[in-house]
Amino acid sequence: MTDNLMNAFPRTELVAARGEGAYLWDAEGRRYLDFVAGVAVNAFGHCHPVLVEALTRQANRLWHASNVFRIPEQESLAARLAEASFADAIFFNNSGAEAVDFSIKLVRKHFKGTATPGRWRIITTEGAFHGRTLAAIAASGQPKLTAGFEPLVDGFDRVAFGDLEAVRGAVGPQTGAIMVETIQGDGGIRVCPPAYLRGLRRLADEHGLLLVLDEVQSGMGRTGKLFAHEWAGIAPDILATAKGLGAGFPLGAVFSTAAVASCIVPSSHGSTLGGSPLGMAVGHAVLDIMLADGFLERVARTGAMLRSRLEELVRRCPGVFPEVRGFGLMLGLRCVPDARLMMGVLRRHGLLVAGAAENVIRLLPPLTIEERHVGEAMGALDAAAAAFMRQPDLVEA
């Protein structure tokens, strides 16, 4: 019964009934290997015992207290995240879009206190997805997100993805920042090459701009480092993250340098539910697992293994899957058949994957998957590829 829900999602018929580890069960008891993982949210699969224990223990102690009080779990989680990243200061909220929205606000407020207070515009890239707030859809600028919601928030200058010279050309006297996803997720797993990221960092430094990275999807261990930008050997000034941070509990955060954070004073920003003891308890449990010795290295290794298996698939079936994208456990397969159709066929073979732009399917498994899960996913992908090769005009598998 969906009569009373706004019709916002292109949903499938699958009823999500129960989850355990890398598997999701529907209401009929069918089991699926879940490589959607709540769209890169369930970093440790479903109902990880460490997270369940942390959440229930905190639920019996204190759920929520206003941010007018000191929240020790918030102070200590910020300290751990700062220690593990470029950041000096962290602000907790509840979602990715909120984190991006506050990142935009930070850019504006930062420059108000400098010798160049007129710098408030932000250069963004085509194909970007930054979430659904009024500012975040304007930052992305994609018609599928903005249609009907005009007038849009002003202040975003869009350039082609991956084109450093285009960014350079877009810098004007009002430009305050460059904002990109380190890896475009929704845009089709488009990776910012390390040289491009380093170029953006240099350009930002040359012009006194801030570099803002949206790592809502690519962050929190997804690529085998805490944040994907670490692979390029650079650091941003501001970073938005969410998804894997709460691993299924609504939790977002903005990270920044001390120089940027200094513009925030009491009452200039806030959140009622952000940084609640319940969310902070889960965040600590997430870090307990993620920062344990060898965990991130294992994510990188599993990702490399899955990627090489996908490359083999592409060599064997280029007429179905012509291209692999991404790294770590943030991978994409471009499809020749319609990606929606492909997702349905894979579902019937017991594998759940996420869609993306450019007719790409996204493989975003829990970071805890093992070799046997990789094998199982490849079995479903092989079977789907075979079905499409037998019957190129396949409509029903």
**Active site members:** 129, 214, 243
SS3 label, residue 387: helix
Report how many residues bind ligand PLP under the rule CB under 6 A: 15
Least distance in angstroms from the C-beta of 131 to ligand PLP? 3
Separation CA 14–CA 26 (nearest Å): 6
* Site track for ligand PLP across 170-209, x = CB under 6 A: -----------x---xx-----------------------
The reply to whether 332 sits near ligand PLP by the rule CB under 6 A is no
125 CB-near residues (< 8 Å, 6+ apart): 158, 159, 160, 161, 162, 180, 184
Question: Which two tokens mark 5?
Answer: 């829900």
Separation CA 96–CA 187 (nearest Å): 16
The residues, ordered by sequence, that sit 6+ positions from 338 with a Cβ below 8 Å of its Cβ are 359
Tell which positions 335-354 bind ligand PLP, by CB under 6 A.
Answer: none
Which range of residues in 128-136, 196-204, 292-300, 304-312 is near ligand PLP by CB under 6 A? 128-136
Helix, strand or coil, per DSSP, at residue 83: helix
Residue 101 sits in the site that holds ligand PLP (CB under 6 A)? no
| Window contacting ligand PLP (CB under 6 A); options: 83-91, 157-165, 211-219, 382-390 | 211-219
CB 298, CB 370: distance < 8 Å? no
Q: For the CB of residue 185, give the shortest distance to ligand PLP in the complex, in Å.
A: 4
The answer to whether the beta carbons of residues 40 and 331 sit under 8 Å apart is: no
Which range, of 16-24, 92-100, 227-235, 352-360, touches ligand PLP by CB under 6 A? 92-100
- Asked if 131 is part of the footprint of ligand PLP (rule: CB under 6 A), the reply reads yes
Please, which residue, 74 or 184, has the CB nearer to ligand PLP? 184
- What are the residues facing 351 on neighbouring strands? 33
Question: 236 — phi, psi (to 5°)?
Answer: -85, 175
Burial class (CB in 10 A: 0-12, 13-18, 19+), 29: exposed
E strand or H helix that includes residue 168: helix 164-170
Q: What is the spatial distance between Cα 278 and Cα 186, in angstroms, rounded to a whole number?
A: 29
Is residue 214 at the binding interface for ligand PLP, with CB under 6 A as the rule? yes
CB of 172 to ligand PLP, least distance (A): 25
Q: Which is nearer to ligand PLP, 19 or 185 (CB)?
A: 185
376 interacts with ligand PLP by CB under 6 A: no
Q: Does 216 bind ligand PLP (CB under 6 A)?
A: yes
**Among residues 97, 189, 351, 363, the one that binds ligand PLP under rule CB under 6 A:** 97
Positive or negative, the CA dihedral 253, 259, 263, 267 is positive
Q: Which stretch binds ligand PLP (CB under 6 A): 62-70, 89-97, 156-164, 388-396?
A: 89-97
**Of 377, 221, 373, the residue nearest 297 (C-alpha):** 221
Give the shortest CB-379-to-ligand PLP separation in angstroms.
28
Q: Which residues bind ligand PLP (CB under 6 A)?
A: 95-97, 100, 129-131, 181, 185-186, 214, 216-217, 242-243
